[in-house]
Amino acid sequence: MVNAYSVLSYLAKQQKDFRKASGLIQQAIEIARSGKDTLPLADATNSLGNIYKDMALFSQAIDTYFEALSLWELKGDSTGISIAYGSIGLMYYL
């Protein structure tokens, strides 16, 4: 379910419907929170940060990327950690 909502969110984002994309990814986050694995939650949270970035809501994006970073750190996911640090760095640059 998390992946389905993430894909629908991605499609809405491609159509520049950021409000719809945000709502769909929020649903993915809620579903991911009910599971035991934090990786889907980290991925969905990072996607929310990307939506905030595209909406030029940089402060919210940074907060969201830090949340995803902490989730990826719990699992020791070096790829996710790298993604988060790159996204956070980009936000500070912008």
Burial class, 78, CB count within 10 angstroms (exposed 0-12 / middle 13-18 / buried 19+): exposed
For residue 19, the domain's CATH number is 1.25.40.10
**pLDDT of amino acid 36:** 87
Total domains, the chain: 1
Which regions of the chain are under pLDDT 50? Answer: none
CA distance 69 to 92: 15
Q: In this predicted structure, what is the pLDDT of residue 21? A: 97
Q: Is the pTM of this model over 0.85?
A: yes
pLDDT confidence of residue 64 = 97
Q: What is the pLDDT of residue 2?
A: 92
Which tokens is 33 given?
């929170």
Residue 87 pLDDT: 95
Which domain does 27 fall in, by range? 2-93
